[in-house]
Amino acid sequence: MSKKLNPLDLFDINALLGEEEQMVQQSVGRWVDERVLPVIGEAFDNHEFPMDLIPEMADLGLFGSSIQGYDCAGLSYTSYGLICQELERGDSGLRSFASVQSSLCMFPIYAFGSEEQKQKWLPPMSRGEVIGCFGLTEPHAGSDPASMKTHAKKDGDDWIINGSKMWITNGSIADLAIVWAQTDEGIQGFLIEKGMKGFDTELIKRKMSLRASVTSALFFDNVRVPDANRLPNVKGLKGPLSCLSNARYGISWGPIGSAQACLQEVIDYTEERVLFGRSLNENQIIQQKLADMSRRITTAQLLALRLSQLKESDDLHPTQISMAKWNNVRMAIDIARECRDMLGGAGITTEHVAIRHMLNLESVITYEGTETIHQLVVGRELTGKNAF
């Protein structure tokens, strides 16, 4: 008799993972079940990030998990992907927090910072004692970061920074902002510390997506930053774009968790829901929809795993990240919407997870490269012609 398959892992991707990777997924998944799921719905409703979870995430080694040394866990990139998947199974806002802390803040310090900067910032960031944010996007410079208006001018041994950034995750709670600005020598990165004169943040309210996440605007009015706070080992767009590639890799894994959460909920619901004298899941159309969700999740899992193999072997191309981010977020948002519909009237409340994931994914499909931009990146690779 054939064994019963895991409805959330129909092709047994778990068997392809290493022992350490399986342990990481199990430990993070157990923590999400025990600590995140009981509180995240209310956090979403109240437009609050669950700050008390940050030390627990740090204790699990989730910040800068793939960095070697500096009190970081030194895990594989596959483990980092699985961390993102399990966190987003809880909520995209939680995964966004970890993604920004790890890929957009700790990574550039590790990759482009001085040894003094690494020693000063990475250990406390790994412990969750210092929270970071990443300042690249501006009100009129989202998909076209080269047109940013924020600029830094040299003044003796300091830099004077003026400008603003928009849609910045963690902005209002961050102790350290990695800010990219135009200079006479091209775009450069600066470490701007909370409390520096002229540096202010403003919380963005009235969001209907990523409500359990802090999103802010950053303002720089003649902020004086010492040259010791400039990232010395990178100039130009290579710096911020490499950070985004690292983060997009994690985003390619994360929405699998959202989709799994929605599928599990609707599997349970259609078993328990009785309509016209029989359980809802006895209907062909329901089984067809469930099967299609499983197919799409499985495809996304295989795509993410192959992506991690390419990253582990240092053969990963940005176009491959674009395809994975495009496919996997589109997969998740379509499944969340379908699950919301299958829950009927119950699907419009946050007592069920589908609408929360659906709304969150409206942001995930937009940030760090819109779906259209990623489609055009793939199109450019296929034709050799830039359409944007």
Q: Which amino acid is at 329?
A: V
Among residues 21, 138, 338, 368, the one annotated as catalytic is 368
Please state whether beta strands 274-275 and 176-183 pair in parallel, antiparallel, or not at all (unpaired): unpaired
Q: Which amino acid is at 308?
A: S
| Residue 211 CB partners (closer than 8 Å, separation 6+) | 43, 44, 45, 46, 47, 93, 359
Report which of 144, 142, 176, 184 is spatially closest to residue 160, judged by C-alpha positions: 184
Residue 252: what are its φ and ψ, rounded to 5°?
-65, -30
Report which of 221, 123, 111, 231 is spatially closest to residue 179, judged by C-alpha positions: 231
Per-residue HEC secondary structure of 293-346 comes to HHHHHHHHHHHHHHHHHHHHCCCCCHHHHHHHHHHHHHHHHHHHHHHHHHCHHH
**Dihedral of alpha carbons 123, 128, 129, 134, sign:** positive
Assess whether 20 carries a catalytic annotation: no
For the annotated catalytic residues, the residue numbers are 368
